[in-house]
Structures are given as C-alpha cells and as structure tokens.
Amino acid sequence: MEKTGVPHVIFLPFPAQGHIKPMLNLAEILSHAGFQATFVNTEHNHHRILHNTDIHDRFPKFQFKSIPDGFPSDHLRSDLLYIRDFFRSCRVAFKPALRELLISLKEEKEPCQPPTCMIADGIMCFAIDVAEEFEISTIFFRTFSAHCLWTYFHLSKLIEEGEVPFQDENLDKPILCIPGLENVLRRRDLPGFCRTENADDPILQFFIKETSALTRGTGLILNTMNEIEGLMITRLGSFFNKVYAIGPLHALKSRINENSSSSSTSSDGILWKEDKKCLKWLDSKPSRSVLYVSFGSLINLSGEQILELLHGLVNSEKSFLWVIRPDLIVGDATIGDILKEQETGRLERGLIVSWAPQEEVLLHPAIGGFLTHSGWNSTLESIVAGVPMICWPQMADQQVNSRCVSEIWKIGFDMKDTCDRSIVEKLVRELMDNNREEMMESANKLARLARDSIEEDGSSCINLEKLIQDIKSMSSSLTQVHISG
C-alpha cells in the first residue's frame, strides 16, 4: 500500500491509569504535529474511558481501538492482582489480539495511512515482536523516572553482588553497586519487589527481562527532563540509540494546547469520573493551607492504615483534601464505616472525594503540601505545581522516587515503611509549618526547572522535535507494508 508520508502512530499503553494518562498526553502532543494516532486500550478500559471522559470532544483527531485482555468479563480488574494476571497472560492472549488489530489496520483504506511506528509501553515489550512482523518500528515509552529506570537496569547486578535478596533485616544498609546512586539508595529504597527471599521471584525476573528487552526498540521515550534528571538520562543513553526525555508531558501538552487555542486543556479523570466540587471547597481556603492526600490509582490500604492516616491528619489540625477511591480500602470496611467509628465532628477540616481533578488541585493556591504514594505522574505533577511532598511509597518505582524527592531534590519527606498517627501528624506539621520556607524554596526552584524544560528552547521541546523528525523519517523511509508471518 502506498504511503503519503503522514506518519500514523499506534499508541499501546499498559492497561492502568498511571500508564494510559501520560500515553494519552503524548498522543495528543504528536497529533498536534500532524500525525495520525491510533490509541489502543483493552476493551475493559476502553469502556471505562468512554464512560468517564468525553474522548471525541477531547481527542477529536484520534482513532480509538480496543482489544480483549483475554479474561472473562466478570474478572476483577481493579486491583494489583489484575496487573500480575496481565503480566502472566499478555503474551498468550493480548499479543495475538494485537496482531489481529494490525492486520485490520493494514486493510483499512481510509481515513488513515498504514502505521509506521508503534509507541508501546516499556513493560509490554512483546509488542515489538508483533510490530516487526508488520515492519513497523517500535519506540518504547517507560513511564518511570530516569533514576528508577537506571535502578531497574541494575537488578541483575544487585543479585550478582549478593545485595538482593537481602542477607539480613537491616533495611538501612546502603546500596553501593549502582553507579551514580552510591550512598543515595538504601535497601528500603529499592523497588518493593526486591524484598523477596528468592532471586528467582517471578516479578523480579519479569522486570529484569522486560528492562533488558527495552533496548530492542529504536528509541526510548521518558516522561522526565534533562533539567532535573540529566545525569541519569545521560547514563541511560549508554543502553539506547536514542533517549527522548520529553517531560513533564502533562505540562507540555497544556502549553501546546494553549498555543494552538485547542479547547482540550483539561486533564480529565480517564478511568474515573472527577469530582470537581473540591475545587470550590479549595477556593474557600487560605493560601497554602490545605494538604492534598492521594495514593494514585492502584494501591490498596487496610482499614488500620486508613485509621492511622486519618488520626494523623486530624491531629495535625490542618485542612486536608483526601482522595479515597472506591477500591482503595481492602476488606469490607468503607471510609463511611471507619469515620462512623470516630468521634463525630472531627472531620470538619477535611474533605474526602473518590477521584479528584488532581492536576488542577495541585495548581490551586490553597494547596500547601501533598501526601502521596510517589507514583511518577503524581510526583511530576507536584513538581510542576511547586508543591512539597510527604512520600509514602508502597511498590515498584515509588520507593526510588520518594528517595529522590527527599534526598536529592529536597522537596519533601520520606515516610516509607511507617504508618503511625504520630509520625503522620509530625511530618504534616513539619511540611506545612516548621520547614515551610525551606521546602517552598526548593519546590519553587524545581518547578521553575520543570517549566523551563517545556519552553520552546527547553530540553524537552528540543527532544520532542527530534522525536517528531525521527518518526517522520520512519514513514518516508518505508514505502511498502507487508505481513511477513
């Protein structure tokens, strides 16, 4: 089939909020560059997005496609077990479905050109096998920080050096075998799955293989910026032909939309409906007086943990806005039950919502701090907004991110591995009162750097232009698409 040179890019995110959202931002940015975009979700997530986001209004230039994830319709998809299920099953069920989709895209005559490039999530490396059958180039997009990805590249070394599994229970022992992070990371700052007793642990081994497979792509996209993670990005360059650090994507997308007078500037809830009432509540609060509390889209907490957090927040006597997703609490207790057990009236300073417009919340002048699980999107959104953090990481990249926040960038406190009301209360007061000036100064400095990166002469804009040119050259260098299998 002849091509006219307009690049058609397939976007394949991992099926979770923290992966879909930055991929959507990237797709929106590239569609501004004139590219055709096909965005592929699992059927389940496609229906959720249709329900919670006006995709045709927000993404008029995309075509959305969905493929089955291989599980029955009543399979539980809202918790971490689903992620593990998906890791296990994706090569068996999702991979053939992706192949079917590519065949149908090839056969489609209008309105799109045949795809020449796939941007696939960096934990879905099987996608490159399928793309290669169709002579489509694959660029991987890893949604983690550069510090974290560099750590993942050293997982095998950690095993070889006898660091993982840990030889004793001292979680404060420094990790010395990751170049550039010597004396920064301790055992407790390694990704959560390193706390295993077995070097053959399937999750640990999955990430070792998947991280190494990333280098098969023609390049690597990172949602970060040279201004903040330059040294780690340079180090990662030793594994890849091209590294495109083009973050923070949410801020870059907003800036491009503003410049093009696009109506689409909102972040939208993606997989959840946003409760925008909280913005009005924030309007009534003094500047920098409210703590925002949210633990992202995946982690689950026990009723006891919620109770400790709740007491700590209430005892700090600060106002707080807390996102409690319907599936946040494990077990049968709801937040209503937990509150009922408490003295009445004690929540007068707090507001609980099930899903917030997080980007807008963090940019609201009433917000003075963020108690976060240190997911990379949340961390970036907080950095851009200049909001200092209390980090309470639970898994994967979050342990590394929180260490960077507290130890390298000095824009927050790391509360990892504790959940005690007195510590919560103390850290909230430290963040919002005692260390406020110091924290705000570092947070403002980092926010400026993040914003510089997305200016026209900033590093992320320059890297984006390189990415655009490289994708264009893929569509001009190939003139025929055929299936070789």
Residues taking part in catalysis: 19, 121
Give the nearer residue to ligand UDX in terms of CB position, either 36 or 398: 398
248 binds ligand UDX (CB under 6 A): no
Closest distance of CB 323 from ligand UDX, Å: 4
Among 211, 377, 402, 460, binds ligand UDX (CB under 6 A): 377
Question: Which of residues 134 and 193 has its CB atom nearest to ligand UDX in the complex?
Answer: 193
Q: Specify the long-range contacts of residues 399-402, CB closer than 8 Å, at least 24 apart.
A: 399/188, 399/189, 399/190, 399/191, 399/192, 399/374, 400/145, 400/147, 400/148, 400/151, 400/185, 400/189, 400/190, 400/191, 401/145, 401/147, 401/148, 401/374, 401/375, 401/376, 402/189, 402/374
Task: Give the integer Cα–Cα distance in Å for 98 and 13.
Answer: 12
Alpha carbon 440 to chain centroid distance?
A: 24
**Binding of ligand UDX by 406 (CB under 6 A):** no
Q: Does residue number 356 form part of the binding site for ligand UDX (CB under 6 A)?
A: yes
Which is it for strands 62-67 and 219-222: parallel, antiparallel or unpaired? Answer: unpaired
CB-CB contact of 219 with 470 (8 Å):
yes
From CA 50, how far away is CA 60, in angstroms rounded? 13
Nearer to ligand UDX, 380 or 471 (CB): 380
For residue 425, give the DSSP letter.
Answer: H
Instruction: By CB under 6 A, name the one of 23, 37, 298, 391 that touches ligand UDX.
Output: 298
Stretch that binds ligand UDX, among 193-201, 208-216, 353-361, 414-422 (CB under 6 A): 353-361
What is the DSSP secondary structure assignment for residue 432, as one 8-state letter? I
154 binds ligand UDX (CB under 6 A): no
- Residue 167 CB, nearest distance to ligand UDX (Å)? 27
- Provide, rounded to whole angstroms, the least separation between the CB of residue 354 and ligand UDX: 8
> Is 48 one of the binding residues for ligand UDX (CB under 6 A)?
no
Alpha helices in 260-352 (DSSP H): 277-283, 303-315, 335-340
Per CB under 6 A, 17 contacts ligand UDX: yes
Is 381 a binder of ligand UDX (CB under 6 A)? yes
- Three-point CA angle 396, 401, 403, nearest 5°: 115
Stretch that binds ligand UDX, among 112-120, 282-290, 292-300, 309-317 (CB under 6 A): 292-300
Report residue 332 as tokens: 């049968």
Applying CB under 6 A, among 152, 355, 409, 413 the residue interacting with ligand UDX is 355
Residues 437-456 that bind ligand UDX (CB under 6 A): none
Confirm or reject binding of residue 254 to ligand UDX (CB under 6 A): no
Sign of CA dihedral 395, 11, 94, 125: negative
* Minimum CB distance to ligand UDX, residue 373 (Å): 6
Q: Is 98 helix (H, G, I), strand (E, B) or coil?
A: helix
Interacting residues with ligand UDX (CB under 6 A): 16-19, 21, 143-144, 269, 294, 296-298, 323, 355-356, 358-359, 375-378, 381, 396-398
